Structure 1
Amino acid sequence: MCKNIPWKTLSEAYAFVGNSLLKPMTMTSTIGLDPAFWEAFPAFDGAVAQAVEVCACYAEEAGRRAEGGEDGPQRASVEYTRLFVGPPSPAAAPWETMYRGKDVTVGFGQATFEMRELLREAGLEVRNANNQYEDHMGIELLYLSELCRREATGEGATESADIAAFIEQHPLAWIEPFLDRVSEAAPNGYFAGLLLVAQRVLEHHARLLAR
């Protein structure tokens, strides 16, 4: 396995974004609205640092709006629902299948089966009240988080080439068009910045594994 890779820090970064994509902020942590959280977020490289700054600016603005009486978590949760739930349908579908071809309208396909098999091989099971498909971006990032956690603790049995292949073939293969849809539907929103951070971390991780 590749040396000098901050597996624990990567695991925590992926876990934060993954969990943030699976539940609205009113049902999970509101730490993403705390500028101090983003100040402490690992700046793996310059590109990640720039993306983190986008989130930090959003958090600072949210703080100013809160002083005026706005409910920041509620605002982010409304954005979450419009983007990833609907009705009538998600403005930015969070499933990989939807980005595997043109004009895909059914969110259950080959990518779902591939992720289901990868999770099974890793001894992981999807348990969520929303019955999300396994190729949900949040689930893909949580799977990657678990691989990183296992490497950090010495439990890992996955070759670096396999982790690199997963990153390239799954989350990194579709996060850009996914982010494009999010940015179009909710420009300057919370999730555009969050997904930009995820994209930059994935790119950084892929480069580390390619060394």
Structure 2
Amino acid sequence: MVASWQEVALFRAGIYRFLGHCLLEPFQADRVPLLQPEFWRDFPLAPANDVMGDALDRLVNITSNLRSMPGEAALERVQTEYTDLFLGADEPKAPPWESLYRTPERLLFGPPAFQVREAMARFGVAAAAKYRQPEDHLGLELMLLAAASEAASLREEAGWRDSARLQAEFIAAHPLGWIGDLEKDAAAHGAVGFYAALLGLTRGVLQWDSELLEEYLSA
């Protein structure tokens, strides 16, 4: 059976919301199942490109190694990696804000943050309301896409197409334009490799989704 646009939109929203949450908050005990290789072997989106496939393979291998650790040691290692990469005692080793990668002065709250804020207003979503972060945090950019996709699932077809076009433009202009640099920093500085692999998966999802939206718009 061919999925309807509403079903596809809700599926996309779920994937983006999951990835956004993973990047916005360190793992807590309720996310221990994500540190099991079975979770990534059964990831709800089958690899649609080599980037996704490689990232899922790495996540399976990394979590297989983590499973051999006693007690809560695996969770603590992933939590520590999150802190080192995205928070940092002095400064994060892989800062998750677009402005720091796309402004020559490496500004926090640079133009990309205001561009994402404008996009949130354009989509009619408030993805940043719950989190005390600049709007161009990668996790918030993903949450924006989740909220926009969920809202699009409720519209008539003309509204789907308008939203799909805006979402495709947003993906190209924002998360897909800088996630590769963030991923490289996470790979260079992450002691576990979990978040570099998660960012690789996110990059692959963004590439898949960009192609999906373009295919829909060209039909």
Asked whether the two chains share a fold, i.e. TM above 0.5, the reply is yes
TM-score bracket, normalised by the shorter chain, equals: 0.7 to 0.9
Q: 1:7 to 1:44 in 2, by over 3 A?
A: farther
Report the Cα offset of residue 97 of structure 1.
Answer: 0.4
The residue type equivalent to 1:199 in the other structure is: R
Tell me what 1:6 maps to: 8
Counterpart check, 1:95 vs 2:97: yes
CA root-mean-square deviation: 2.4
Cα deviation, 1:153-182, whole Å, max 9, x if unaligned, reads 548654322111000001000000111111
Q: Distance in 1 between matches of 2:96 and 2:206?
A: 17
Report the Cα offset of residue 5 of structure 1.
Answer: 8.1
Counterpart check, 1:171 vs 2:175: yes
Report the Cα offset of residue 50 of structure 1.
Answer: 2.7
TM-score (norm 1): 0.87
- Secondary structure, in 3 states, of the residue corresponding to 1:21? helix
Q: 1:33 to 1:86 in 2, by over 3 A?
A: same
Q: Which moved more, 1:80-89 or 1:116-125?
A: 116-125
Contact 2:101–2:181, Cα closer than 8 Å, also in 1: yes
Report the Cα offset of residue 208 of structure 1.
Answer: 1.5
Tell me what 2:48 maps to: 45
Q: Structure 1: which 5+ runs fail to align?
A: none
Paired residues for 1:136-175 under 5 Å: 136-154=137-155, 158-175=162-179
Q: Distance in 2 between matches of 1:95 and 1:140?
A: 10
Q: Distance in 2 between matches of 1:18 and 1:8?
A: 15
Q: Structure 2: which 5+ runs fail to align?
A: none
Q: Distance in 2 between matches of 1:107 and 1:140?
A: 15
Contact 1:17–1:198, Cα closer than 8 Å, also in 2: yes
- Secondary structure, in 3 states, of the residue corresponding to 2:28? helix
Tell me what 2:79 maps to: 77
- Secondary structure, in 3 states, of the residue corresponding to 1:114? helix
Tell me what 2:203 maps to: 199
Paired residues for 1:9-48 under 5 Å: 9-26=11-28, 29-41=31-43, 42-47=45-50, 48=52
Tell me what 1:59 maps to: 63
> Number of matched residues?
206
- Secondary structure, in 3 states, of the residue corresponding to 1:159? helix
Task: Give the structure with the higher percent helix.
Answer: 2
- Secondary structure, in 3 states, of the residue corresponding to 1:124? coil
Q: 1:167 to 1:27 in 2, by over 3 A?
A: farther
Report the Cα offset of residue 96 of structure 1.
Answer: 0.5
Cα deviation, 1:66-122, whole Å, max 9, x if unaligned, reads 3xx551111111111110111100101100001113351x31111111111222331
Q: Percent identity?
A: 29
The residue type equivalent to 2:199 in the other structure is: L
